[in-house]
Structure 1
Amino acid sequence: MKRKLPPFPALRAFEAAARLGSFKSAASELCVTPSAISHQVSLLETYIGKSMFVRQSNRVELTPDGQHYLTSVGPILDDLDASTRAVIGEPQQGQLRLKMTEWFAKRWFIPRLSNFLCTYPDIDVKIETGLPPTDFRNGELDIVIHWEDAPVPGAVIEPFFTSGRTPVCTPQYLASHPSLKRPHDLQHHVLLRDETSDGWQEWFDLAGAPQACPSGGPVFAHCELSTNAALNNAGIVLSYTALIDDFLKSGALRPIFDLHTPVRTLYSLAYEQCQSNSSHIMIFREWLFGQVLQDSSNTLAA
């Protein structure tokens, strides 16, 4: 059966404009004028018989038909790019744009970054930090290290990082409070709290001391700040053990009790569904899950 294929220049113009959300940005990427992009998109719309975009003053938005078409066209062009590079022997290259929390970047990703760069030297990594929400609409991100595992419309969410929580403090703090023997004793100490997810009541419930959980204590915007406060002997923090593995191994922080909250998902890999076949995203995904598997193997061997 004869294929029904649109003109390739029109397809390229549509995909670039849809991905970047702007005819001007698409023109810059493809080294043509914005009017050329507009002309090619109009040709595609005439060929298909449906509008692909809603034109606005300084940007464009996909119609439902345009969004549906992009989910097919984007991966096809990515596959074509990857296949062409493979045939001519050109290495994977370009920029991979990542966003993650500052704590995750410092504690987990950056210590492993050299491994990724050595394995894929032709991929330039751009890293920015920030908190949720996970949002790909401005076209400026390829991957977000997503907090927890809540679904995001139009995005693939793949959990990869889990941990339970337990009270920890410095050896100095513990030595200066020898009477700290039972969970009930914590009610007389400064408990450092995480505004993002304060789990102290859950821990006291598991310890069989629900009434002992005090209501006060310093509240921090995220776990990096509360952990730093504990490192400076300000009190006791209910920490995700997977995020402080190096502090526990070095002895900078010590668990007080052998009681952890249930394991929960802390971070997930997030990327747009329409980019599921992107070679760079799949390379990073394979590397990320490989690192997690290696961490698990090292933990079991220890």
Structure 2
Amino acid sequence: MKRKLPPFPALRAFEAAARLGSFKAAADELCVSPSAISHQVRLLETYLGRPMFSRGPQVVRLTQAGQRYLSRIGPLLDDIDASTREITGDAARGQLRLKMTEWFAKRWLIPRLPRFMSVCPEIDLKIETGLPPTDFRNGALDVIIHWGDAPVEGVVIEPFFASTRTPVCSPAYRAAHPELRAPTDLADHVLLRDETDDGWAEWFAAADCAEACPEHGPVFSHCELSTAAALSGTGVELAYRELLIDLIRGGELVQIFDIVSPVRTIYSLAYEAHRATDMHIRMFRSWLFKEILLDAATQDNVLMPLTAAQ
């Protein structure tokens, strides 16, 4: 049967505009004018017999048909790009835009950047920090380190990091409070709280003294701030143990009790489903899971999903 293939320039213009969420951004990428992108998209819509975008003042959005079409042709164009570069020996140099919590960036990713740069020298990471939600709609991000493992429509969520939580403090704070011997004693101390996910009630329940959990204490917008407060001797932090394992092993923080809260997923790799074959995303994903495998060899309770070994 004869293939039914649309004009390639029109296909390329549509994919760029849909992926970037903007005719102007697509025009910049393809080195043409926005009106040329609009013309090519209309040619494609005429060929297909239906609109791919709904157009409004200052904005264009994919229709349902456009979303379905992008989900199928996006990976195909990525494969063509990767195969062409493989044949020509032209390693694709480019930028991979990441977003994650400040804590993950500082405590996990940045110490490992030299290894990433040696393995993937053709990729320049652009790293920004922030809190959820996981949102790719403005086209400004390629990968998000997703908090937890909650599903997001149209997004691949791959859990890769889990941890228990346990109370930690600075050595100076511990030395100044020898009376701190049982979990219930924490009720009389400064407990550092996380605004995003305060887990003190869960930890006191795990210690079989739920009624002793106080409700007071300074609240921080993210974990990096509460860790800084713990390091300075301000009080006791309920830390994700695996993220601070180096500080604990190095003696900068002291684990006060052996009691830990239940293991929970705290980080997942997230990227748009239609970009699953994107070469730079695949390279970053492969590197990240290999690093997690290395971590798993020396640490407890680090989540290793089945996808990590594939």
Counterpart of 2:262 in structure 1 is 262
Alignment of structure 1 residues 80-119 onto 2, 5 Å: 80-119=80-119
Contact 1:168–1:256 (CA<8 Å) still a contact in 2? yes
Gaps of 5+ in 1: none
Q: Is 2:192 the partner of 1:195?
A: no
Task: Give the secondary structure class of the aligned counterpart of 1:85.
Answer: helix
Cα distance in 1 between the residues matched to 2:95 and 2:220: 34
Task: Give the secondary structure class of the aligned counterpart of 2:185.
Answer: helix
Cα distance in 2 between the residues matched to 1:141 and 1:179: 49
Cα distance in 2 between the residues matched to 1:101 and 1:279: 24
Counterpart of 2:37 in structure 1 is 37
Counterpart of 1:66 in structure 2 is 66
1:260 Cα deviation from its structure 2 partner: 0.5
Counterpart of 2:154 in structure 1 is 154
1:154 Cα deviation from its structure 2 partner: 1.1
Contact 1:22–1:58 (CA<8 Å) still a contact in 2? no
Task: Give the secondary structure class of the aligned counterpart of 1:5.
Answer: coil
1:174 Cα deviation from its structure 2 partner: 1.2
**Runs of 4+ in structure 1 over 2 Å off:** none
Contact 1:22–1:60 (CA<8 Å) still a contact in 2? yes
**Identical-residue share of aligned pairs (%):** 64
Alignment of structure 1 residues 1-302 onto 2, 5 Å: 1-299=1-299
Letter in 2 for 1:49: G
Contact 2:242–2:299 (CA<8 Å) still a contact in 1? no
1:299 Cα deviation from its structure 2 partner: 3.1
Q: Give TM-score scaled by structure 1 length.
A: 0.97
Cα distance in 2 between the residues matched to 1:125 and 1:205: 41
Contact 1:23–1:59 (CA<8 Å) still a contact in 2? no
1:57 Cα deviation from its structure 2 partner: 2.1
Cα distance in 1 between the residues matched to 2:177 and 2:69: 64
Contact 1:194–1:220 (CA<8 Å) still a contact in 2? yes
User: Structure 1 stretch 53-62 or stretch 272-281: which is displaced more?
Assistant: 53-62
| 1:240-263 superposed Cα distances (whole Å, 9 cap, x missing partner) | 001111210110111111110011
Gaps of 5+ in 2: 301-310
| 1:21-65 superposed Cα distances (whole Å, 9 cap, x missing partner) | 121211111111112111111111111111001112223110000
| 1:61-95 superposed Cα distances (whole Å, 9 cap, x missing partner) | 10000000000111010000000000011113211
Q: Give TM-score scaled by structure 2 length.
A: 0.95
Aligned-CA RMSD value: 1.0
Letter in 2 for 1:97: R
1:217 Cα deviation from its structure 2 partner: 1.0
| 1:202-250 superposed Cα distances (whole Å, 9 cap, x missing partner) | 1111111111111111111111111111111111111100111121011
Contact 1:92–1:120 (CA<8 Å) still a contact in 2? no
| 1:84-129 superposed Cα distances (whole Å, 9 cap, x missing partner) | 0000111132111111111110000011111111111111111111
Cα distance in 1 between the residues matched to 2:166 and 2:210: 16
Letter in 1 for 2:79: D
Task: Give the secondary structure class of the aligned counterpart of 1:208.
Answer: coil
1:271 Cα deviation from its structure 2 partner: 0.3
Cα distance in 2 between the residues matched to 1:32 and 1:292: 42
Q: Structure 1 residues 208, 298: CA separation in 2 closer, same or farther (over 3 Å shift)?
A: closer
Cα distance in 1 between the residues matched to 2:15 and 2:157: 23
Task: Give the secondary structure class of the aligned counterpart of 1:86.
Answer: helix
Task: Give the secondary structure class of the aligned counterpart of 2:157.
Answer: strand
Cα distance in 2 between the residues matched to 1:37 and 1:196: 42
Cα distance in 1 between the residues matched to 2:299 and 2:149: 24
| 1:152-196 superposed Cα distances (whole Å, 9 cap, x missing partner) | 111111111110001111111111111111111111111111111
Task: Give the secondary structure class of the aligned counterpart of 1:75.
Answer: helix
Cα distance in 2 between the residues matched to 1:295 and 1:206: 26
Contact 1:196–1:221 (CA<8 Å) still a contact in 2? yes
Letter in 2 for 1:146: H
